[in-house]
Homo-oligomer: A and B are copies of this chain.
């Protein structure tokens, strides 16, 4: 696997910029569950994901979570290099949700490229705008979509990611994704079960009526 194939603007860079990148980039494997970035003071570098799945979330003082977005193969994680921009004034946590492989561009190298190249700076803008759009989407969901719709959409998304109707997810974990309490999730899942949309067994949720769940999730 070559970095050039995963970094979309690689071929727009000058040869010396390509060299700088190639000679400083680190390749890393991480196991599912690894916390890869923790808050704005942490500054590992820019991640380019070659395989696996990362999750970006925020954490309250009381330890409550809400998932902001996920990153997959070919996605780029900018906020793990938040020190490159002083205006990034918020704390995000990034964890590997699955075993993952990635390149890490050290923050000082990326900053140097960004300051000298309009292409890199413009590309960075595009990444940030994409994440911003995902967060705005989430905000609208939280503000204006009832919890049953959010939960239905979440179960369908998980099912797509896992390519399965059987989801190994605790109610606690779902609550952390959606930023609510476990009891709220349990209550709604029981309602979904009473409506024959899902079947609940210990530690597993089976989607039994996808169509009905989709209609609800829209």
Contacts and interface: CB of A to CB of B under 8 A. Distances in A.
- Give the dominant DSSP class at A's interface: helix
A88 interface: yes
Interface of A: 58, 60-62, 64, 66, 85-90, 114-118, 120-122, 124-133, 135-140, 142-144, 179
Nearest to A135: B135
A128 B121 CA distance: 12
A179 to B, nearest CB: 5
Number of copies: 2
5 contacts: A58-B139, A85-B126, A88-B132, A115-B118, A121-B122
B58 A129 contact: no
B90 A144 contact: no
Contact of A132 (B61, B118, B135): B135
Contact of A125 (B62, B128, B135): B128
Contact of A90 (B58, B87, B132): B132
